[in-house]
Amino acid sequence: MAEVNLRKVVKRYEDVEAVRGIDLDIADEEFVVLVGPSGCGKSTTLRMIAGLEDITDGDIMIGGDVVNDVPPKDRDIAMVFQNYALYPHMTVEENMSFGLRLKHYPKSEIKARVTEAARLLDITDLIDRKPKQLSGGQRQRVAMGRAIVRNPKVFLFDEPLSNLDAKLRVQMRIEIKKVHQKVRTTTVYVTHDQVEAMTLADRVVVMNKGRIEQMGTPNELYHNPATRFVAGFIGSPAMNFVPCRLEELDGKLNVRLTDRLAFPVPGQRAVRYHNIPRNEPLLMGIRPEHITEARPHDEPGVEAFDTVLDVTEPMGMETLVYFTLEGAQICGRVNPNWGARDGAPMRLAVDLNNMHLLNEASGVVLGRP
């Protein structure tokens, strides 16, 4: 049971700075996911916590102790690797107990812990097999079992699900969440998959180019992103961005997308945006689910407009529609029964209560609460 703290942690390889000063506090029992594109420094951060990479500058604390110079084995952590890293010449049981055997735990205790972990992960039947005889999902469970039997202060996961097929990934995601609910060990989990991040995390840390872009609960990140990067990275299909400017007409605030297309900004948002200079080029960010079919009696703030669809993608429970606005491709999600067809005109509605305005150059989301 321990918290993990990172203070201005920097990692520099010869000429590149992979991690550029990260501050992060992870509470006891918390499940934190580091997410970002490849090369954003998330894995390096995790490996520094594990002690597999030494840190160039800053401090890492586990359970309040600075562990900068503590070798991995004395940090009381366990790690699950992307390719499982099971020892191919050992059985499942030997794999799980290797760390304990090295530390000369009594045989009975090892046996008890392995049995318990195997039961928890539902791999009791596989205990005498070699990794080669296991499926991907079973190997994943064994790798987790190896982490659990150590009963460490912190679990570290390095993209553990990226070698599994889509169906198994969903299943193991749930499995990991269940295990965490049972053992309640502080967990740091690295992934490039934002869905994994959203579904697993108590708190998501979005990283980009060696820095933390934003951290918060999944819902915070989704509904209230701080930057264009986070807004675009979290959520699938991704948020749409359209060039726009704000206009003041008769004391009413409008957002103008094209010469012919402008929408009134609903009251609540207008209050947020009263400081933003008018008639400057901005970006409007709007999620696909906030562009839907127009209905006769839409709520206030939902504005209808006509467009011609380029492509439609029926997904079953919804249909994704794509159209072009000011050269930008926009995606919307409409009711599958509304008759959206490729190349057909359609009347859509945009929910401006959920719009975001961004500085075009810096990508910062403006007027956040």
Peptide bond into 237 cis (omega under 30): yes
Q: Tell me 122's DSSP state.
A: T
Q: Report which DSSP code applies to 227.
A: B
Among 16, 38, 102, 297, binds other proteins (CB under 8 A): 102
Q: Pick from 21, 99, 137, 367: which binds other proteins (CB under 8 A)?
A: 99
Nearest to 153 by CA among 220, 85, 65: 65
What is the crossing angle of helices 107-121 and 136-149, to 10°? Answer: 140
Task: Say what the alpha-carbon torsion angle 272, 273, 275, 277 is, to the nearest 10 degrees.
Answer: 170
Q: Which of residues 114-153 bind other proteins (CB under 8 A)?
A: 146, 150
Give the C-alpha separation, 255 to 241, whole Å. Answer: 13
Segment near other proteins (CB under 8 A); pick from 36-44, 53-61, 226-234, 237-245? 53-61
Smallest distance from other proteins to CB 73, Å: 4
Is residue 61 at the binding interface for other proteins, with CB under 8 A as the rule?
Answer: yes
3-state helix, strand, coil in the chain (%, to 5): 30, 35, 35
CB of 119 to other proteins, least distance (A): 21
Q: Please tell me whether residue 79 binds other proteins under the rule CB under 8 A.
A: yes
Q: Which stretch binds other proteins (CB under 8 A): 45-53, 175-183, 212-220, 346-354?
A: 45-53
Q: Is 103 in the site for other proteins (CB under 8 A)?
A: yes
Segment near other proteins (CB under 8 A); pick from 54-62, 118-126, 166-174, 357-365: 54-62
Residue 26 touches other proteins, criterion: CB under 8 A = no
Q: Which stretch binds other proteins (CB under 8 A): 49-57, 121-129, 283-291, 312-320?
A: 49-57
Strands lying side by side in the sheet with 328-334: 311-314, 319-325, 328-334
Residues in the interface with other proteins (CB under 8 A) total 33
Q: Alpha-carbon distance 92 to 275, whole Å?
A: 62
In the chain, what's the furthest Cα-to-Cα distance?
Answer: 82
Candidates 16, 71, 275, 337; binder of other proteins (CB under 8 A) is: 71
Please tell me whether residue 87 binds other proteins under the rule CB under 8 A. yes
**Which of 17/76 has CB closer to other proteins?**
76
109 binds other proteins (CB under 8 A): no
d(CA 30, CA 203): 8
Q: Does 10 bind other proteins (CB under 8 A)?
A: no
In sign, the C-alpha dihedral spanning 298, 299, 300, 303 is: negative
Binding positions for other proteins, rule: CB under 8 A = 5, 7, 50-52, 54, 59, 61, 64-66, 68-69, 71-73, 77-79, 81-83, 85-89, 98-99, 102-103, 146, 150
